[in-house]
Amino acid sequence: MAKEQTRRTLESLQFDNSYARLPQQWYQRTEPAPLKGARLAGFNAEVAQLIDLDPCSVTPEQLVCYFNGEKSLPGAEPLAMKYTGHQFGFYNPDLGDGRGLLLGEVVNHKGERWDLHLKGAGRTAFSRFGDGRAVLRSTIREYLAGEAMAGLGIPTTRALCLIASEHYTQRNGMEPCALLVRVTPCHIRFGHFEYFYYSRQHDQLKLLADYSIDRYYPQCREADNPYLALFLEVQERTAELVALWQSYDFVHGVLNTDNMSILGETFDYGPYTFMDWHEPDHIANKNDDQGRYAFKRQPEIVLWNLSAFAQALVPLVPQEALEQALTRFMGRFRYHELKRMRARLGLQQEDEGDAALVVELRRLAAANRLDLARFFYHLSEQPAEELLASELGLCESVPELSEWLKTYWRRLALEVASPPIREAQMRAVNPRYILRNYMAEEVIREAHAGNYAPLNDLLPLLREPAKVDPKLDRYAGMPPDWAGAICLTCSS
C-alpha cells in the first residue's frame, strides 16, 4: 500500500542515487557551470508533483539558484554519463553527456524513482568540441514537446522547469543559452549497452543489464534468460512507441541509437515535427540529406536500432535467439498501430478490413495534403457530409474521399457501441490541438524578447488537447502560410 504523499521542499527531496554507486568509469562527476543572468522562464507544477515537490513551496529564486549551479542541491550527485551509439548509421565511440548532467534520483512516496537531469549545464569530459550549452530555442521546443506527448498519451520525458539567461553562444547566429531540468524514470540509452560491447567490457555490460533489469524490468528475473527477456520488453515498448508516432504523424528527426531509451519513451527532442499535412516522405531534420529519418522510415529505422541493441547483448544472449526476437518487431508494431488507429476511428471491435481502411485513408491523405489531426477531430464531432467542407482544406479528390467515407460508415454499422460512447472514445484520442512548429516558433520569438507568458499559456492546452480553449482556439485552425518556411536542424 502506497504511503501517504508528503509534500517536500527542494531542499528535502528524497534522493537515492543508485547510478552514482555504479563503477566510476561509467561516468564523470562534475558540477554545473552557472549561466550569467539566469532567470526562471517556466515551471511545471504537474511534474513537480511526480517527485513530491510542493509547487507552493518553491520560489523562482530557489529554482534558479539550485539548478543553475549557484548552490548544490541537497542530495544531488551530478554526473555526466558515458555512452556511445550509431549516428546516421555510423558508430561513434566518443559520445556521452556532453551538455547534460544526471543530478540524481528522487524517490517519491509511491516508491517511484525519478531521474533529474540538467540539460545545458556546461562542458563535460564528453563535450568534444562543444561548449556544453543548450539554447533557449531548443529547450523551449523540448519543454513543449514533453507536455504535448504526455497529453496525447505517448510515452515521453518531461521537464520540471526551464531557466533562461543572458549568456549567449554561437548556433544559428548568437543565441541565448538556457537550462532544462528533465524528469524521467530512465536515462539509459541503447548507446550505454553499445559502449560496453564495442569496448569489450563484457563484465560491465552484464552489470549494466543486471542494473537495468533490477531497476526497470524486475519481472525478467523469472525468465530462463533474463537478458533475452529484457530485450523483448524493450522491443515491445519501442514497437508501441513508434506505432504511436506514426498514428499521430510525428517525426522524431534524429533516431540515432543514443537517442533511444530502454524504457520506450520519446527521448532527446531535436528537430521533431507534428506534420501539418500527411506527407510520408517528410524529413524533419534539414541536416538529414539522405532522408534516413523520414517519417515513413521510422519503423524500419527503429528496428535497425533494436538490431544494434541486440548486437550489444550478444555476449549475454545467443545470437539466434536475438535474431528470432527481431523478426517479431514489425508484427508488434503493426498491431499497436492498428489498435490506435481503430481507436481514432471509433472502432472498438476488430474487423479484417480495418487495416485496408487505414491504408486507404493514408493514401488519400498523402495524395491530397490532408491534415489528419484535424480530419480525425472533425470525424468525431461532425456527420460525414460536413467533413467535405472547405474549412478542412479537403482535396480535389472529393469523389475518392466520399467513397472512403461511405466505406467507413458501413464499417461503423458493425459496431455495437452507441454513438455517444463511440464519440466519447474518439474525443479521448483525437486532439483538437496538436503542437505545430509554428506554435513553438511563436513562443520562441516572444521568449527571445523576454516574454515567457505565451510559453506558459500553451502548456495547459497541450496537456488537455481535446478540451476547447477559447483564448487559444486559433491553434485549432490551419497553420499560417509562413509555417512552411520553418527550418529545423540538429541544433533545434
Query: What is the rounded average pLDDT of the residues 155-184?
Result: 97
Mean pLDDT of 425-442: 96
**Active site amino acids:** 258
DSSP character string of 261-328: BTT--B-S-SS-EE-SS--TT--S-TT-TT-TT-GGGHHHHHHHHHHHHHHHTTTTS-HHHHHHHHTT
Q: Three-state SS for 452?
A: coil
CA distance 398 to 368: 10
Residue 399 is predicted with a pLDDT of 78
Question: Looking at the predicted structure, is the pLDDT value of residue 52 above 50?
Answer: yes
Residues 393-422 pLDDT 10s: 454 456 788 889 889 999 999 999 888 899
Residues 24/70, Cβ–Cβ less than 8 Å: no
pLDDT of residue 401: 84
- The DSSP H or E segment spanning 102 is strand 100-107
What are the residues whose beta carbons fall under 8 Å from the beta carbon of 229, sequence distance 6 or more? 217, 219, 220, 223
Q: Is the pLDDT of residue 2 over 60?
A: no
Percent of residues, the chain, with pLDDT higher than 90 = 88
pLDDT for the residue 5: 72
Q: How many CB atoms lie within 10 A of CB 426?
A: 20
Residue 305 has pLDDT above 90, yes or no: yes
Looking at the predicted structure, is the pLDDT value of residue 148 above 80?
yes
pLDDT band at 389 (very low <50, low <70, confident <90, very high): very low
Does pLDDT of 384 surpass 70? Answer: no
The residues facing 105 across adjacent strands are 115
φ/ψ of 107, rounded to 5, equals -100, 120
Question: Looking at the DSSP assignment, which residues form a beta bridge with residue 274?
Answer: 250
| Residue 392 pLDDT | 46
